[in-house]
Structure 1
């Protein structure tokens, strides 16, 4: 169920800082039309760190209701407070999300045992499938493969989004988890290699901008047609790179604005993409065959 191209969806906003529900609705429909295989609502790319609890839960509910079972919806419900992560995960279950994505607690740097206990409490408290999310470049904590293996023994924990970009880490996780454990890349630039080595798909930032191409890349990779997938990956590589010229989701929100899909609003402490980076991102968008708004 959770495989292929799963977009880490942005959360559109208005100039007054309120959430832009109309733009969100249009984005969800566009992704379904373009062949995106699943939607991750309110993850890192969805600015989860700056949405309050009520907004967070409402975005999840609206996306789930609109998708209406057409593709899977995964709710980002991680937090650096276990009680807050529990609350968000329970809200996602109440909204009928298909699964939750829980990032490792950021900033407070828990030890491996703390990570295990954090995820164990949530898994045993809320009856919804849960995907772990390891992204040490943002959280300052790296969940080791042995910890993932321990957590994989818990019934509600069904997979991981692994965003280190390390194939050695992927193989270490494969060695300590069952075959059915879902392995999703969280790094667009290395996602093809991740799938070639047995991963099941990716949770993608690039898919926000190039949903059809990212979906096709994943379909080819999972079918074993790596050469054709490589052609698409090379076409998308400038996007993979330029979408991280500044902290995610600054570049991707600006890209979608230039495509005419959302406004240019982003919440502090993030700010719109610096002017010096815009020409490179525009060129990457166009090199992927995507039109910019006039």
Structure 2
């Protein structure tokens, strides 16, 4: 099987001198210009999608939700992701959803979006270009979309090579999405990807601090921004070079992740950081039940007028689980009191 570019070209294919994106909010990375400045750690929510009772996307509520994330300190957005219920949308909805967020944010912060849908590499490239055309800062590629579970990393790299050859100078990222299956990127593959400056983003779901540490060392000093989805390794990953956090719990209490991103490296906050990490790790199994509907229930408690409607498997939340979420909401308010956080009031 042959591909349009060689492995060597794949590794050496560089963008022009400015390896970041355009100046302003579109630049996911700007270290080439101001590498002496402290690197800002970012909370980037994996956005949920509000639906109307007829299961159509509620764009008005999506705008309100976007405002809520921004008020809570979000420094970017991952639209059209697993939390968005993208696997229950058609291509046009995925594009329209991404475009709405990009247009609504209007350059305040960068927006990335999954763009690797399609039954062939050629079709994936076509769809990715449509996502790029929305104005997204980066097109995210699901690792499980580029090789079957039984296929080797060689196949994964070959398919990525072919995809890149079809997509010009498109800025891309990787996402170890659990669907269609969770394909974790090995350090060797990760090193190959980071060597290509078109790769600007990685969302890690390995939940393994040793694996994370290896990847962070590889990414150090490069254009690639590393975002951790695992709350139990949040502090370690931030301290060891992670660019930010992007966990599902950001759809419940985004202020907590904003606080962690701001203070993980602050020695005076080390005790509080260790404490809050243990707290959010403890509550993760609770909030994960009936997700993403559980997050919509929680957000509704926080004042967002969104419907408790989901296209995913969970169509309703049992009363006993609602009570658990109610209790978790009160726990969250206690966290805010201890850390001196002003929780966003979405009703105002």
**Which TM-score band applies after superposition, normalised by the shorter structure?**
0.7 to 0.9
Pick closer, same or farther for the CA change 1:222–1:69 going to 2, 3 Å. farther
Q: For 2:179 and 2:113, how far apart are their aligned partners in 1?
A: 21
- Partner of 1:277 in structure 2? 321
Pick closer, same or farther for the CA change 1:191–1:100 going to 2, 3 Å. farther
Pick closer, same or farther for the CA change 1:177–1:214 going to 2, 3 Å. closer
Correspondence for 1:172 among 214, 232, 240: 214
Residue 288 of structure 2 aligns to a residue whose secondary structure is: coil
Aligned pairs, how many? 292
- Partner of 1:33 in structure 2? 71
Pick closer, same or farther for the CA change 1:137–1:75 going to 2, 3 Å. closer
Correspondence for 1:115 among 118, 136, 156: 156
Aligned residue runs from structure 1 range 38-117, under 5 A: 38-79=76-117, 81=119, 82-105=121-144, 108-109=148-149, 110-117=151-158
Pick closer, same or farther for the CA change 1:269–1:88 going to 2, 3 Å. farther
Task: Point out the structure with max Rg over C-alpha.
Answer: 2
Shift of 1:140: 4.1
Q: For 2:256 and 2:67, how far apart are their aligned partners in 1?
A: 17
Correspondence for 2:185 among 143, 160, 182: 143
Shift of 1:4: 1.4
The normalised TM-score by structure 2 is 0.75
Q: Which blocks of at least 5 consecutive residues in structure 1 are unaligned?
A: none
For residues 122-176 of structure 1, the C-alpha deviation after alignment (integer angstroms, 9 at most, x for no partner) is: 3343333222112458614332121111122222112311111101111222344
Q: For 1:192 and 1:100, how far apart are their aligned partners in 2?
A: 27
Shift of 1:95: 1.0
Residue 132 of structure 1 aligns to a residue whose secondary structure is: strand
Contact 2:118 2:127 (8 Å CA) reproduced:
no
Pick closer, same or farther for the CA change 1:118–1:48 going to 2, 3 Å. farther
Correspondence for 1:128 among 170, 177, 180: 170
Pick closer, same or farther for the CA change 1:9–1:222 going to 2, 3 Å. farther
Q: Which blocks of at least 5 consecutive residues in structure 2 are unaligned?
A: 1-27, 30-40, 334-342
The normalised TM-score by structure 1 is 0.88
Moved more, 60-69 or 189-198: 189-198
Q: For 1:155 and 1:275, how far apart are their aligned partners in 2?
A: 49
Correspondence for 1:8 among 40, 46, 51: 46
- Partner of 1:202 in structure 2? 245
Residue 83 of structure 2 aligns to a residue whose secondary structure is: coil
Correspondence for 1:23 among 61, 68, 91: 61
Contact 1:42 1:59 (8 Å CA) reproduced:
yes
